[in-house]
Structure 1
Amino acid sequence: MSIRILAVSQHPALAPLVAGWLVEAFGRPGGRTVEQTTALILAPPKGPEESFVLFDGETPAGTASLAHDDLDSRPDLTPWLAGVYVPPAFRGRGHAGALVRHVEGAARAAGVGTLWLYTWTAAPLYARLGWVEAGREIEPKRNLQVVLMRRDLAGAPA
């Protein structure tokens, strides 16, 4: 199968698909709707921001974003790797890693030196990809402890 990754800004019709995945994977009761999330994806960027969709052949098979902000308790940190999601049928094929590397490349191209993420389930995946734990935080909307991670892009393999 051939893999390709497209920027949603170049293919805005993908935004509702990405929004649906994000609401399904990361949404919470009373949180953003698919329509609200779609609008955020298509909103003018605050800095180097972009959402991406990975295609496995002709089938959309995952998403990840470069986001200005992502963790309300840490507005001092920017930008973020956010919303990494691969549907269950496509897991185990390296798609998450490909998406992470793609976002890292986009950040590097925008002159970003350090990229941030938080996770409550996937710290081992990110550690295998060269990310380093930078502490623990509370994600305030869910009142959930998360792992804060960073990736220094200067000198990191592309």
Structure 2
Amino acid sequence: MAPRLDWLARHMQHSNTFASWIHQQFHYEYAGQPLPDWQREFAEGQNNGDWKCLIALDHDELLGGAALARADLAHRTDLRPWLACVFVAPEARGKGLAEQLIEGICAQAKASGETKIYLHTHDQSVYYAKRGWVVQERFQAWEKDQWLMARDL
């Protein structure tokens, strides 16, 4: 059976796990935020809309997720919304799951009346460019080159 996508708000038992995956994967972004604080912020974000997360499940096993974020880059508060927190568990990779999650987030943003969505990445700009995202600018953050990208919805 193919994995199913659903909103994390309906499966809050997975919130702390997904938040810990994100905290570990993007550790440089969360260096100043202890894991319990991030887990609390992320869980609250499922209700207040700050981090509306779409997850992939195989039965009740969490495989990955992606978030529609109100804000994801401190120096670009003028831009919103954001595709953020894209992560697929290593054992579930290579099956197109990230792309399904990304498309689900883009569809939600469009359904909410948005016409453009943003992301930032330091190592996946080619992946996103192949999927219609366009580089808006390059910048330095967390001691890494970053790409700010956007996609029309």
Q: CA deviation at 1:26?
A: 0.5
Q: CA deviation at 1:100?
A: 0.3
Aligned letter for 1:36? Answer: D
After superposition, the Cα gap between the structure-2 partners of 1:30 and 1:117, relative to the gap in structure 1 and judged at 3 Å, is: closer
Q: In 2, Cα distance between the equivalents of 1:3 and 1:124?
A: 26
Query: What whole-Å deviation, never above 9, does each CA across 1:30-53 have from its counterpart, x for those lacking one?
Result: 432332122112224256x51121
Q: In 2, Cα distance between the equivalents of 1:124 and 1:56?
A: 28
Contiguous gaps of at least 5 residues in structure 2 = none
Q: In 1, Cα distance between the equivalents of 2:90 and 2:49?
A: 31
TM-score normalised by structure 2 residue count: 0.89
Q: 1:136 aligns with which of 127, 135, 138?
A: 138
Secondary structure at the counterpart of residue 129 of structure 1: coil
CA contact (8 A) 1:16 1:34 kept: no
Aligned letter for 2:37? Answer: Q
Paired position in structure 2 for 1:17: 17
Q: In 2, Cα distance between the equivalents of 1:109 and 1:89?
A: 31
Structural mapping, 1:89-100, within 5 Å: 89-100=91-102
After superposition, the Cα gap between the structure-2 partners of 1:148 and 1:75, relative to the gap in structure 1 and judged at 3 Å, is: same
TM-score normalised by structure 1 residue count: 0.86
Secondary structure at the counterpart of residue 115 of structure 1: strand
Secondary structure at the counterpart of residue 101 of structure 1: helix
Q: CA deviation at 1:88?
A: 1.6
Q: CA deviation at 1:136?
A: 0.6
Structural mapping, 1:24-39, within 5 Å: 24-28=24-28, 30-39=31-40
Greater shift after overlay, 38-47 or 71-80?
38-47
Q: In 1, Cα distance between the equivalents of 2:61 and 2:15?
A: 15
Runs of 4+ aligned residues of structure 1 deviating over 4 Å after TM superposition are none
Report how many residues are paired. 150
Paired position in structure 1 for 2:41: 40
Q: In 1, Cα distance between the equivalents of 2:147 and 2:117?
A: 14
Q: CA deviation at 1:134?
A: 0.9
Structural mapping, 1:111-130, within 5 Å: 111-130=113-132
Q: In 2, Cα distance between the equivalents of 1:69 and 1:9?
A: 19
Q: Identity of aligned pairs, percent?
A: 30
